Amino acid sequence: MSDVNPMRPAAYQPDERARLRLIGEISKMAVSDLPSARVFTTALERTLQTFGLDVIAVYAGEPLTLRMQVGGVPARSGTAVPVGLALLAAAERKVMLVKDFRAEERWAPPPWASNAARAEVAIPIAYRGRRVGILDLCSPRADGFAEADLDTLGTVAELLAVIIAQESWGRVEVSSPELQRAYQRLQEFSELKAHILRNVSHELRTPLTLIKGHLELLLDDGPQALLSEQRKALLAVCDRVDDIVAIVDRTVSLSPTDDLSLAYERILVGDLLGEVVEAFERRARDSVVTLNVQPVARDLYLYGDADKIRQLCYNLLDNSVKFSPNGGQVTIQAQSEGDNVHFIFADQGIGIPERQLSQIFETFYQIDGSTTRRFGGLGLGLTVVNRIVDAHKGEIWVESEVDRGSVFHVLLPQNVPQEQR
Ligand code: ADP
C-alpha cells in the first residue's frame, strides 16, 4: 500500500469536465424525488463508466457486509467483507489505496472483482462524523487512481452519505403483513412513550414549582430568620430541586411528535457560553474537572433560540465533565465558520467505542446501561441536543477515542435559515 501517485497514462484520466459532470449528475439525483435505491445504483454506474472501473461495491453495517455492487462478478448482497483494504479503511477511518496488486502481493482484490482488477481504493462513507459505509472501487489498471480521481471519488462518497442518510438503510422495508403489523405496533409504542413522558413531566413539574416557591420564601425572610447552617442546607435543597426541574424539562422537550418551535433572537455567543459555564459551575461546585473556555470573538453572534442553545451547550458540557477523570480538562470553543458558528466541547475522558457512536443520540441510550454503572443520567441529554440542532437546521458530529476523550462538534447557522423565515 502506498501514497497516491498522480502520474498515470493520460488516456484513462477523465478530464475535469467529465468529473464535474459526474458530480453534477449525482447531486441533481440526490435532491430529486427518484427512489433512493435507483439514485444509488445510477450514481455507482455513472462512476464506474466515468473512471472505466472493474467493480464498485458499497458495504455497510456492523460487521461490514456487501450492500450493493456494480460491475465485476455478481455476489450475494449481505456477504461478509473479507479481511482486506475495505476493513482497514473502516478501522483507520481513512482512504486506503493499493496501486498494484502484482507489486503488493499481501493485498488481494475483493471476491467480487474480476481477474482483471489491478488497483483498489476503499473510501469511508461518513455522515455527521459517523461511518455509514465503505465505498470500494477496483480498477483494471495498475496506478488506476490518480490524486484528482481520489478527490472526485471522495465527493461521490460524500454525496452517497447524504443519500444513505435521507433514506436510511437501517429502516425496515415494510413489505409483508407481519412486518407492517410490527411497524404499526412500534409506532403505537412510540406514541405511548411520548404521552407518558408528557404526563409524568407535567405531574412532577407542578409540585416541584411549589417546593421551589416555598424554599425561596424561606430564603427571602432576611438573614436573621435562618441560622447559616440552615441557609446552606436550604440552598443545597434549592440546587437539587433545580436539577430535578432540569431533568423534567428535558423529558418535556422530548416528545417525538411535538414540533420544537423556536423563538429566534440575536445571541452573542460569548455571552451565552459565559452564562452556561457560570450556571454549570454553580451547580457543580465540587467538580474536579478544569473548564477551559477559549476566548470567543466579542462580536460573534447567531440567530437562534437562546434558551434551547443554552440547554444544548449545558448538556454537552455536562457530559464532557461527567465522563472526564478527576483532574481532567474540558475545552470549550466557539468560532465563526463560513455562515455558521462552530461550537466544540472537547474532553479527555473515557471516550466512546466507534460502533456506539451512532447510537448515543438515541432516546435513553447509554453505553453502560447496567444498574451498577459509574455515571448518572437518563440517556436523554444527547437526544435533546440532537433535536435542538435539527430544529435550527444545524449539524452535530462527534470524534472519539476510547480512553483518550471525545470531541463534540455543533454547527449552527448564523442567520435564520430561509425555510424558517
Ligand atoms: P446521559 O444522561 O446518560 O449522559 P446522553 O444522551 O447525554 O445521556 O448520553 C448518552 C450516552 O452517550 C452516555 O450515557 C454515554 O455513554 C455517552 N456519552 C455522551 N457524551 C459522552 C462523552 N463526552 N464521553 C463519553 N461518553 C459520552
Distance 150 CA to ligand 1 centre (A): 35
Q: Which residue CA neighbors atom 12 of ligand 1 most closely? A: 360
Residue of 249, 250, 251, 319 to mutate, ligand 1, most atoms within 8 A of C-beta: 319
pLDDT band at 357 (very low <50, low <70, confident <90, very high): confident
Distance 417 CA to ligand 1 centre (A): 29
> How far is Cα 174 from Cα 152, in angstroms, rounded to an integer?
35
Residue 283 has pLDDT above 90, yes or no: no
Distance 337 CA to ligand 1 centre (A): 26
62: number of CA atoms within 13 Å, CB side? 12
Q: Which of 3-7, 84-88, 289-293 has the lowest mean pLDDT?
A: 3-7
What is residue 405's predicted lDDT score, i.e. its pLDDT?
95
> How far is Cα 127 from Cα 253, in angstroms, rounded to an integer?
25
Work out which ligand 1 atom sits closest to the CA atom of 408. Answer: 23
User: pLDDT tens digits for 132-147?
Assistant: 889 999 999 999 898 8
User: pLDDT tens digits for 45-65?
Assistant: 999 999 999 999 999 877 788
What is residue 301's predicted lDDT score, i.e. its pLDDT?
96
Q: In what order do the strands lie in the sheet with 119-127?
A: 65-71, 55-60, 130-139, 119-127, 96-98
Q: Which residue CA neighbors atom 13 of ligand 1 most closely? A: 366
Residues near ligand 1 (Cβ within 6 A):
319-320, 323, 347, 349-352, 360, 365-367, 377-383, 406
What is residue 57's predicted lDDT score, i.e. its pLDDT?
94
Distance 397 CA to ligand 1 centre (A): 13
Work out which ligand 1 atom sits closest to the CA atom of 366. Answer: 14
Pairing mode of beta strands 290-293, 329-337: parallel
Q: What is the mean pLDDT of the chain?
A: 83
Q: Which residues contact 201 (CB under 8 A, 6 or more apart)?
A: 248, 249, 251, 252
pLDDT band at 82 (very low <50, low <70, confident <90, very high): confident
Element (H, E) at 395: strand 395-401
Q: Which residue CA neighbors atom 14 of ligand 1 most closely? A: 366
Residue 252 has pLDDT above 70, yes or no: no
User: pLDDT tens digits for 325-348?
Assistant: 988 999 999 999 999 999 999 999
Place of cell 454537552: 316
Q: Are 361 and 382 in contact (CB under 8 A)?
A: yes
pLDDT band at 403 (very low <50, low <70, confident <90, very high): very high
> How far is Cα 148 from Cα 118, in angstroms, rounded to an integer?
19
Residue of 243, 329, 360, 388 to mutate, ligand 1, most atoms within 8 A of C-beta: 360
Distance 258 CA to ligand 1 centre (A): 24
